[in-house]
Amino acid sequence: MNKTQLLDAIVAKTGMKKKDAEAVLAATLESITDALAAGDKVQISGFGSFDVKTRAARTGRNPKTQETITIEASKYPAFSASKTLKDAVNQ
């Protein structure tokens, strides 16, 4: 399912106008992004939680030159599904 299909599903389930549903979805995604960028955890009961995790710095190898390089530490967004969501998927 892509964003357009998700919007169509929201419109079908809620009866909202497509423009309004698009505004709600955009605001939701922007709010989650802003919270994660600020280092906060976002928990949606019955769905799951979004969190920011950290990858430690490590050494790697450039596959083209075989030169050893240092890969810097980085942060990445992670999602953990709730038990309710896991159960729904596994039925």
Tens of pLDDT, residue by residue over 35-91, are: 999 999 999 999 999 999 999 999 999 999 999 999 999 999 999 999 999 999 999
pTM metric for this prediction: 0.81
Nearest to 36 by CA among 1, 86, 78: 78
CATH number of the domain bearing residue 85: 4.10.520.10
Helices 3-14 and 18-37: angle between axes, nearest 10 degrees: 120
How many domains, in total, are found in the chain? 1
Q: For the chain, percent helix, then strand, then coil, each to nearest 5? A: 45, 30, 25
Beta-strand ranges (E) seen in 1-91 are: 42-44, 48-55, 58-61, 68-71, 74-81
Residue 48, domain extent: 3-89
pLDDT digits (tens, 9 = 90+) for 2-46: 999 999 999 999 999 999 999 999 999 999 999 999 999 999 999
